[in-house]
Every structure is written in structure tokens, then in C-alpha cells.
Chains A and B, each alone.
Chain A
């Protein structure tokens, strides 16, 4: 038993160091990469895709989107990682047009399937 272990362990260490570790590091490197700013198209795509997994309307402000999308996005292989840190803008996805918060102006509105997607700006 011990002799067999003595043969297996060096092979395992070589495989681990030369194959497993580089693969993990390569994948981790991809995971750490974040594109600088997401475009409206990316955000829209993200919102549509995330809608598949959530039954309720989702409201994002950019900081939330940044937090949420960095991991959720990587996980689902959407590459939206960062949005601007301007908290005056945010994106909203709704089933209807009624629940838009006050003090916000609609900049972009699109209807895709049964969803309304808004890009809003705070009125000062």
C-alpha cells in the first residue's frame, strides 16, 4: 500500500503543478477581468437575460448593477462588470409602465416581449 502511494503521490504532484494549477490560474485570470464600462446594449441584454431567472421586476442602480453583475454576469457569462458610478442614472425593468419612481426622467424606453426596459435619469 505504502509503495503504491509512494509511486502515485509524485505523479499527482506533477499533474497538479503542471496541469491543474495553470488551468485554474488561467480561468481565474479570465474571471478577474472586468471591462471598463458597460454600454446600454449590454445592460439591456443583461436585464433581459436576468429576467429569465427572476419572476419579480428588477430595479438596478449602477452601483447595484456593478455589484450584482460582476459575479452574476461572470457566472452567466455575460461580460458586464462595471457601470459608471453615477448614481443619478439607473436602469429599470418592469412588467408595465406604471411604477416608474417620481423625480426620474425616462431617457430610453424599449418594449421587448412582455417587458418594459427603462433607462432613467434623476431630475434635479
Chain B
């Protein structure tokens, strides 16, 4: 009997994954026509040509003359990937797009298994993953080779670290724990932002896994290896100082308040998907601010909702200080937050007890997260 249930489960999961992968292949295929070009892409391409030895790639004192993305980060993992691509395929854009799409497919699969840990209903976790897959801003991110590889690869390692540690808590198999550590360590050398896996993990551990007592217990040590593994990138960041994306030249008393507005900007952009008017932004900000006490109130009663809210807030907070350009140029920074966002929306919908309300809210949610995005993708210029 148990075997049969297991078989049906595997069949269902495979079917869901098949639908997700085929939707990516179908919808993302127009990207393959875009040629290799643009400032960041060519900067990374040139950098991959210049740094032709492994020693040059891991040289943390090396500063790119171009002043582009490679000078901002110490990212040997990304450069190794670019080096391989540039050596094997030169400027053949097809393979670069293939890589971006493959990374997105793998991320989608990880997101599905990750969300299954929070949303028990298979249909809702599928819908949440599909929303992430065809989210219009993610569609643009994957289509742009520089962000498709850089952002996609970083988020892949961050998600792998999260999924593995959740699997470790479920199975107590140390293999998953070491896999998580490895993903995290590689992630820190992909982009510095991967270091923010630690607060997300900490939130997961404290809210969902930890016993509720106010003293040190042995399982708390589980986070220590992550802190130790983050030391190399912290030291390198300090050694580079001016060449870091984390340490900006800005400062001052207004900094914190400014970051709050940036945060609201990101949340607004995530909700509206396309640039919104001034009034729409203010209305949404009002809505978010008044909703906050409710989220905290219900979050204190529901651990998973609390974690998803904190995950969303943290994953937006990661990016608010790393680039000060116009918000509408930075859709790629919503690749990670979009996961927690859709997980939260569908988690709330799946937990509504009244069937009528559940059906109506799911209907609106599907229209907003799937149909609208499909429309935007299919009608883009």
C-alpha cells in the first residue's frame, strides 16, 4: 500500500516537473535569438578572455579596468563558468542562453521541492512554483545573459544550501548537511550576497526547528560551520574594500531611512511588475504598512507564515544597499524575493478554511500571478 502511494507521489511530482520544464522551454525560446551584447555581458566576456589562468581568476587583488560588474565582486565561480563558455563557444549566443535557461530550470525544480516543505497541497505548491517560473521579471532576468548566469547561479547555490539543510532537518542525514555547507561555500565565491543565506537559515532554524527555550542548546552549533565558511569572503571583502559591492561610498544619518524607501520601492515593483504611477506606489506602500501588524499577528500563531514573511523581507533587504540605480533597472534583484513572495501568497490561499473564499481567492491569485505574467511575456515588444 505504502509502495503504491509512493509510486503515485513520484508520478505526480514527475508530471508537475514536466509541465514546469516544458512551460519554460516554450516561453523562454524567443530569448535564444538575442545576440551576445550589452555592456555587462561584454565586460564579463572580456574578463573571461583576460583572466586566462586559474591563478588570475582567484586573484582577489585583481581589479578590472572596465569598472563593470567584475570589478565590483570577487566572483571566481562565475568567472570560471564564463571562461568555460568563452573558450568553448566564443560568441555563440545560443549556448549562453541554453545555460541561462538550464539554470532557471534547475532553480525551478529546487523551488518546487523547497515549497513542498511549506505548502502541503501539491496543487498550490505547483502553482506557486509556476508563478515563480513565468514571473515576467524573472523572464527578463533569464533573458539577459549576464544576469541569467550571475544571478541564476548565485540563487541556485543559495537555494541548494537552503533545500539541503531542510532535507537534513527532515531526514537527519549528514550528507545533506555537508551538501548545504558546500553549496553555501561555493555561493560565497559566486557573489557576496550568498552570505545572506545565514540569516535566512537562522530564521528557519529558530522559527521552525528550534525548541522554544531561552538558553544555549547543542543543536545551535549547526550554524557555526556556516559562519566559519563565510570568513574567507569576509576577509577578501575587507582586503578589497573599494572594490566591493557591499561596501558603498555612501553613508550618513539618512542612510537607514533611505533604505526603508528603497525597500518599499522593491516591494512595490515586485507587486506591480511593471513601472507604476506615483499614486499607485503610495497606495501600495500604505497597504503594505497597514498589513504589517496583521502579518505579525497571524505570523505569531503560524510558524510557517512567520518564516515566509521574514524570508521575503530578508531576501529583499539583501539587495537594497548593493546598487543605487533606478529601481526599474534592477528587476533581476527580485529573482530571489519572488520565491518567498509567491510561497507566501499561495501558502495563505491554501490555508483558507472556507471553501468558497478559498476558490475565489485562488482564482484571483492565479489570474494575478500566472495569467497576467503570461500575458506580459506573450505580448512583450
Contact = CB atoms under 8 A, between A and B. Distances in A.
Answer yes or no: do A and B interact.
yes
Interface string A68-86: 1011101101000000000
A67 B326 CA distance: 5
A28 B285 contact: yes
A25 interface: yes
Interface residues of A, number: 23
B289 A71 contact: no
Nearest to B257: A27
Interface in A51-78: 53-54, 66-68, 70-72, 74-75, 77
A32 B324 contact: no
Interface stretch (B89-97, B232-240, B258-266, B351-359): B258-266
B254 interface: yes
B286 interface: yes
Contact of B289 (A21, A31, A70, A74): A21
Interface residues of B, number: 23
B324 A25 contact: no
Contacts of B254: 75, 77
Contacts of B325: 67-68, 71
Given A25-B282, A25-B285, A53 B249 contact: yes
B290 interface: yes
A25 B289 CA distance: 9
A21 B286 CA distance: 7
A32 B252 CA distance: 20
A112 interface: no
A71 to B, nearest CB: 4
Interface in B257-301: 257-258, 260-262, 264, 278, 281-282, 285-286, 289-290, 293
Given A27-B257, A33-B278, 7 more contacts: A21-B290, A28-B264, A66-B326, A67-B325, A67-B326, A71-B262, A75-B324
